[in-house]
Amino acid sequence: MERKRAQRGDSKLGCILWILVLLTGAMIAWKAVPVKIASSELYDFMVEQAKFGARLSPERVKRLIVERADDLDLPLDAKNVSVNKTYGRIRMRAYFVVPLEFPGYVYDWEFDLEVDRPIFVF
């Protein structure tokens, strides 16, 4: 009795492809997740400054945002941060680009963080 050479499930190619897909996903997550966490922390800091930094000058709030971004290793320049207080509102905006380097490819991840809140002075 002859044995069939191509039986269902005998191929190793499918397993190798799935391993490559999983490794690629893990590599992307390894580089992207820390950047996303840091940008979320910077956004939370900006919201906190909008809530409780109403007594500070816009220049001081801008300096605090740039310092916090530097602590989080985010490439944020002071020229890409704007803080305006007008008519009982505070508006903040921070724009920066984080390059994610992969083998043979660099992805520029753009972040444009905006906060617009009313100022409550107690």
Whole-prediction pTM value? Answer: 0.81
Percent of the chain with pLDDT over 90: 68
**Residue 122 confidence (pLDDT) above 90:** no
Sequence-distant (≥ 6) Cβ neighbours of residue 84 within 8 angstroms: 58, 90, 91, 92
Is 45 inside any structural domain?
A: yes
- pLDDT score, position 1: 57
pLDDT in tens, 35-46: 999 999 999 999
Is 48 inside any structural domain?
A: yes
- pLDDT score, position 31: 93
Residue owning tokens 């809530």: 51
Range of the domain at 80: 13-118
Chain-wide mean pLDDT for the chain? 89
Is 1 inside any structural domain?
A: no
- Mean pLDDT across 54-79: 93
Is 30 inside any structural domain?
A: yes
Q: Give residue 87's pLDDT band: very low, low, confident or very high (50, 70, 90).
A: confident
Is 32 inside any structural domain?
A: yes
- pLDDT score, position 3: 59
**Residue 11 confidence (pLDDT) above 90:** no
**Residue 6 confidence (pLDDT) above 80:** no
Is 2 inside any structural domain?
A: no
**What is the domain count for the chain?**
1
- pLDDT score, position 52: 83
Is 112 inside any structural domain?
A: yes
- pLDDT score, position 68: 96
Is 99 inside any structural domain?
A: yes
